[in-house]
A and B are shown apart, each in its own frame.
Chain A
Amino acid sequence: MAHQIIFFVLALIIATFSILAVTSKRIIRSATYLLFVLLATAGLYLLLGYNYLFAVQIAVYAGGVMVLFIFAILLTNKPGENLKTELPVRRVVAGATAVAGLAFCAHLIYWNIKKVTVLVEQADITPQQLGHSLMGTDKYQYLLPFETISILLLACIVGAIMIARRR
C-alpha cells in the first residue's frame, strides 16, 4: 500500500510540474519545475528497484545538467523580462499536436499492455554485477558502449570549450 501511495504522489508531481515547466512565463521557474520533475523521476527509479540509476539521475541530471541550465539562464536572460511565446495560432497547433499524440499513445498502451501487469520480485543489483557487466566483452556485457561514451564525453568537452571560448 505504501508503495502505491508513493507512486501516486510522484506521478502527480511529475504530471503537474512537467506541464508547468513548459507553460511558465519565466524561464528560471521553468528550470526549477524541471528540477522537480527530474527528482521525482529519480524517486520512480528507486521505487522500481534500480538504486544505481537513482544515484546517477540525481548526480548527473539534478546536479550537473541543472547547474548548466541555471548558469546559462543567468548569463543570457535580462532580469525582469518575461518570455515571449509563439503566436497564438502556433500555440494552438502545438497543443493540438500534443493532445492528439497523447490520446493515440494512451490508446495503444491501454489496449496492448494491459495483459502484462505482474511485477515479479527481483534481487537487488549488486555493485559486483554492475562492474562485471560494464567491464566485459561477452554477451550482455557493455565494455564497447562504455568506452564509446568516454570518447564522446572527451569530444564533448573539447567541442564545448572550442565553441564557447572568446575569439
Chain B
Amino acid sequence: MDILNNILAGQVPMELYLGVSLIMFFAGVYGFLSRRSMLMILISIELMLNAADLNFVTFNRYLFPGQLEGFYFALFTIAIAACETAVAIAIIINIYRNLSSVEVGNLDQMKE
C-alpha cells in the first residue's frame, strides 16, 4: 500500500530500483550456475556487477543525497569491471588457442 501511495504521489520508490537490480543480479546467478561456455559465465558476472553498481547509486541517491560516496564506488567498480573483463577475455582466448574450446568441462586438461 505504501508503494502504491508513493507511485500515485509522483515518486518512484526506492524498493523498485532495488527490485530491478535484484532481478538483474539473480539472472546473473542463474546464468553463472547453468551455462558451460566461459564467455557466458563472464556475461553473467557482468550482469551481477552491473546490479551492484545500480544498488550503490540508488542507496547514495535516496539515503544520502548531497554526498557522493556511492557515486564514486560505482565509478571505481565500473573501472575494475573493465579491467577484469579484459584480463578474463585474454585468458579465454589463450585457452581457446590451446584446447580449441571454451567450455569449462574441458579445463582440467590445462594441467597436463
Query: What's the interface size class on A, roughly?
Result: 35 or more
Give Cα A15–Cα B16 distance, bound, in whole angstroms.
Answer: 12
Given A102-B23, A159-B87, are A122 and B50 also a contact pair (CB < 8 Å)? no
**Chain B positions within 8 Å of A23 at CB level:** 31
B40 touches A65 (CB 8 A): no
* B18, B50, B76 interface centre (most CB from chain A within 10 Å): B50
- For the A-B complex, the count of residue pairs with Cβ-Cβ distances under 8 Å equals 231
Given A49-B61, A56-B75, A93-B33, are A14 and B23 also a contact pair (CB < 8 Å)? yes
With both chains docked as a complex, state the minimum distance between the C-beta of A80 and any C-beta of chain B, in angstroms. 15
**Chain B positions within 8 Å of A110 at CB level:** 15
B15 touches A76 (CB 8 A): no
Give Cα A123–Cα B61 distance, bound, in whole angstroms.
Answer: 11
B36 touches A85 (CB 8 A): yes
B89 touches A119 (CB 8 A): no
Q: By the criterion of a CB under 8 Å from any partner CB, how many residues of chain B are at the interface?
A: 74
B27 touches A163 (CB 8 A): no
Give Cα A153–Cα B3 distance, bound, in whole angstroms.
Answer: 42
B94 touches A163 (CB 8 A): yes
* Cβ contact of B72, chosen from A3, A19, A57, A145, cutoff 8 A: A145
Give Cα A84–Cα B106 distance, bound, in whole angstroms.
Answer: 13
Given A41-B54, A65-B81, A149-B79, are A109 and B34 also a contact pair (CB < 8 Å)? no
User: Which residues of B line the A interface, CB within 8 A?
Assistant: 2-3, 6-7, 10-20, 22-24, 26-37, 39-40, 42-44, 46-47, 50, 53-54, 57-58, 61-63, 65-69, 71-72, 74-76, 78-83, 85-87, 89-94, 96-97, 102-103
12 contacting pairs across A/B (C-beta < 8 A) = A4-B12, A10-B20, A41-B53, A48-B17, A52-B75, A60-B79, A65-B46, A69-B89, A76-B93, A113-B15, A140-B67, A152-B80
